[in-house]
Amino acid sequence: MSQTQFKNVDPPFWVAWHQALAAIRVRFLRQALTSLGIALGIAFFASIQVLREAGPGDDPQGRVRLQWLVATSLVMCLVGVTNSMLMSVTERYREIGTIKCLGASDGFIVKVFFLEALLLGLVGSLSGSALGAGLMNLVQRFVGEPVAIHSLLRIIGVGTGIGLGLTVLAAIAPAYQAARMPAAAALRVEV
């Protein structure tokens, strides 16, 4: 038998999809808290964008402070998602080792973790941007002039895109760590 007969073959995409959903289902509370962290960071971003859209502020220093607060909240979002994904990798050492022993490639492992992060990011950033933009527009309706619907939709789209980008960025290191893990070593680990 030649060495080329034992190469790794990726399972179909739907297998990666179902594994990502199963990982979220098993660790639902932590994944829900991670999505909530994303939602809060993106809600803050969206609410500041609605305020900016509602009217020009007279205080340029106040705008700079708000931009720094938004940047800080988004960085904290990034750190929270990275931490959650690293914990997920650590808890799943044996699962990763088993999947690799069954023939899955490193690319399949990366795909599972990216799908998991994308699902968390989509739920968190879409709900957060809709919540932040909607609540701030409601406040603007009582205080002054509400923001037009097309501007709100644009803010929700930008917030969702930023949230998805942050979750993909946060998933790079954990997915890479999971993929480069030797299968035999992963099976020996006691977590």
Residue 28: both structure tokens together? 């639902």
Our CA angle for 74, 34, 150, nearest 5°, is 55
Give the residue with greater pLDDT, 11 vs 116: 116
Question: Rounded CA gap, 45 and 150, in Å?
Answer: 17
What is the share, in percent, of the chain residues with pLDDT greater than 90? 45
In the predicted model, what is the mean pLDDT of residues 162-184?
A: 90
DSSP 102: T
**pLDDT for 23-68, tens place per residue?**
899 989 989 999 999 999 999 999 988 888 877 666 777 778 888 9
Instruction: Write down the pLDDT at residue 1.
Output: 47
Instruction: Write down the pLDDT at residue 97.
Output: 85
